[in-house]
Amino acid sequence: MTTPYALQVDSVAKAFGGNRVLEKVGFSIRPGEIVGLLGPNGSGKSTLLNTITGFESIDAGTVRFEGRRIDSLNAHRIVQAGIARTFQLPSMPRKMSVAEVAMAASTEHHGVWENLFGSRAAGLAETRARARAGALMDQLLLTPVRDLSAAAISGGQKKLLGIVCALMAQPRMLMLDEPTAGVHPNLRSDIVRALQRLNDAGMTIVIVEHDMHFIREVCHRCIVLDRGHIVADCRPDELASNERVLQAYLGGAAAKPAGGATATPVLRMGAA
């Protein structure tokens, strides 16, 4: 890698009709960082993830991963380049089990391997993928529901399955869109541990999240979007005293609340 950065986003713009959702968005992420992407509802967080991961085109700017331009690649090629993601509202197929969905996310597809390398290689690839799916389902606590319909599990379990699917692609960077929203509090600490283990093994992670406990525990750095502009790039413990962050969340009436404690419906800042 000739660049010190995993991800470089430069002057990215995106509009839907007359709605300018991202304007001159630029930031860089180093390998091994865990970065929180914050901002009020509608500020452009999911759209930013969509543009980086090839689910939406950009109108202007560039996106580089490990030094290489990826902004004209489709979503499939971006996964192959090393970035995998989850969705804010995962929808799962009714007719597939949890384990089948995990296997379907494997990049080692039997048919492709058979065409390229013959049936023995395809068999080995499938065995590898099965072992990987099993280990990931175990790590994300889905083994007890592995044979249930993927549509029948809870919203929180669907989020976990989304993470399993992303990891099946063996990415070097993981982008998670609200991984703990709707997840039972007991499962949150398991997600925290799973993400920290992945990060210890070198994974770069970007997380869209509102829960300040989670952000403080997991993120090294936070980027805050407000109406399509980056208004802050700081440590999690600096958020509560950042005027522009408060302004973004509280709107025009922003003022430092008495006692410094902040509680808004969208950025949940509980006691640390």
Q: What is the DSSP string of 15-67?
A: EETTEEEEEEEEEEE-TT-EEEEE-STTSSHHHHHHHHTTSS--SEEEEEETT
CB of 88 to Mg ion, least distance (A): 5
Site string for ligand ADP, 23-42 (x = CB under 6 A): ----------------x-xx
Contact 229, 21 (CB under 8 A): no
CB of 223 to ligand ADP, least distance (A): 12
Token pair of 176 as six digits = 């998670």
Stretch that binds ligand ADP, among 15-23, 72-80, 168-176, 264-272 (CB under 6 A): 15-23
Nearer to ligand ADP, 123 or 182 (CB): 182
Nearer to ligand ADP, 44 or 156 (CB): 44
Query: In the range 92-121, which residues lie near ligand ADP by CB under 6 A?
Result: none
CB of 26 to Mg ion, least distance (A): 20
Contact 266, 249 (CB under 8 A): yes
Helix (H) or strand (E) holding 173: strand 173-177
Stretch that binds Mg ion, among 71-79, 84-92, 123-131, 262-270 (CB under 5 A): 84-92
As a whole number of angstroms, the distance between CA 269 and CA 263 comes to 5
Planar angle of CA 159, 162, 164, nearest 5 degrees = 115
Cα 161 to Cα 143, 153, 168, distances in angstroms: 11, 10, 10
Site string for Mg ion, 32-71 (x = CB under 5 A): -------------xx-------------------------
CB of 45 to Mg ion, least distance (A): 5
Cα 127 to Cα 134, 136, 177, distances in angstroms: 11, 14, 30
Q: Does 45 bind ligand ADP (CB under 6 A)?
A: yes
Binding residues for Mg ion, per CB under 5 A? 45-46, 88
Binding residues for ligand ADP, per CB under 6 A? 16, 19, 21, 39, 41-47
